[in-house]
């Protein structure tokens, strides 16, 4: 996919989202590098289709695309298929990465590596995920993207998951949660507003929380 310069910047600045999403699927029989590579593919697709004029955050648009590509691995048999040519290019990129690290006396950013290799940032990110083990990729603004995953990205994914799960609840269920957790009302006061008994609210609340947990897992 041919990306514009702003779209490539979106990819480079949001690699942490791919890490965060991939981390959610650790321990399920697929190598982390494969998970991350699939996440990068989803991130690139999201950057290519994102329209900032619609008014929502890029992360809101990107996370479902990233998760979709990662889940595709499990549907397709457990790994990302990497062709011989891509593997060879990844090896060359790794050598260039090491040379730049020595020349700069620090780890190069994805943008610096892409420029040196004469490739787009998006292509470089995918090849890095195919050819490099867990490394720290320093961005242009000297912000490190490390493994383990940065906590802020995990929180973004968790909030987006929760928002999507809440949308699947009924209006009554959402209102009960709003009164209990947003307004901080007791079960007795919540029961009076909803026309229920305190016991009914208590039972319903537990059911909703279990339902939400199941949807988020």
Taking domain 168-216, whether its CATH number is 3.40.50.300 is answered by no
CA distance 145 to 56: 24
Could you give the angle at the alpha carbon of 59 between the alpha carbons of 180 and 168, nearest 5°? 40
The DSSP bridge pattern shows strands 144-145 and 137-138 to be antiparallel
pLDDT of residue 203: 92
Say whether the peptide bond before residue 96 is cis (omega within 30 degrees of 0). no
Q: Are 116 and 130 in contact (CB under 8 A)?
A: no
Q: Assign residue 19 a region: left if phi > 0, alpha if psi is -120 to 50, beta otherwise?
A: alpha
pLDDT of residue 142: 39
Q: Tell me the pTM.
A: 0.46
pLDDT of the chain, 217 residues: tens digit per residue:
567 778 878 887 888 888 888 888 888 777 887 888 888 888 888 888 888 887 778 888 888 888 888 888 887 655 555 555 666 777 787 788 788 888 888 877 777 777 888 877 666 776 665 554 433 333 333 343 333 434 445 566 666 777 777 888 899 998 998 888 888 888 888 888 889 999 999 999 999 988 888 876 6
DSSP one-letter string for 83-125: -HHHHHHHHHHHHHHHHHHHHHTSPPPHHHHHHHHT--HHHHH
What burial letters (b/e) apply to 109-137, b meaning 16+ CB within 10 Å? bbbbbbebbebbbbbbbbbbbbbeeeeeb
Cα 216 vs. chain centroid, distance in angstroms?
A: 14
Every domain range in the chain assigned CATH 1.10.10.10: 168-216
Residues forming a β-bridge with 145: 137
pLDDT of residue 197: 92
List helix spans (H) across the chain: 5-13, 15-23, 32-49, 58-75, 84-104, 110-117, 121-131, 151-167, 171-177, 187-194, 198-216
CA distance 153 to 15: 10
Cα distances (angstroms) measured from residue 133 to each of 19, 33, 77, 147: 13, 7, 22, 10
């Amino acid at each position: 996919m041919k990306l514009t310069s702003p779209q490539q910047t979106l990819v480079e600045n949001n690699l942490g989202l791919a890490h965060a999403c991939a981390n959610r699927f650790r321990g399920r029989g697929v190598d982390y590098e494969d998970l991350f590579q699939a996440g990068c593919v989803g991130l690139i697709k999201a950057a290519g289709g994102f329209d900032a004029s619609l008014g929502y955050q890029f992360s809101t648009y990107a996370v479902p695309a990233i998760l979709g590509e990662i889940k595709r691995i499990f549907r397709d048999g457990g790994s990302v298929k990497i062709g011989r040519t891509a593997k060879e290019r990844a090896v060359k990129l790794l050598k260039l990465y090491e040379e730049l690290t020595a020349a700069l006396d620090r780890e190069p950013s994805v943008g610096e590596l892409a420029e040196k290799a004469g490739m787009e940032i998006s292509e470089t990110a995918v090849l890095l995920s195919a050819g490099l083990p867990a490394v720290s990729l320093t961005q242009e603004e000297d912000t490190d993207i490390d493994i383990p995953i940065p906590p802020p990205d995990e929180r973004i994914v968790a909030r987006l998951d929760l928002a999507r799960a809440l949308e699947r609840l009924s209006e009554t269920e959402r209102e009960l949660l709003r009164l209990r957790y947003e307004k901080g009302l007791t079960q007795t006061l919540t029961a009076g507003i909803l026309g229920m008994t305190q016991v009914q609210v208590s039972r319903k609340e537990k059911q909703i929380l279990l339902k939400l947990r199941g949807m988020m897992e």
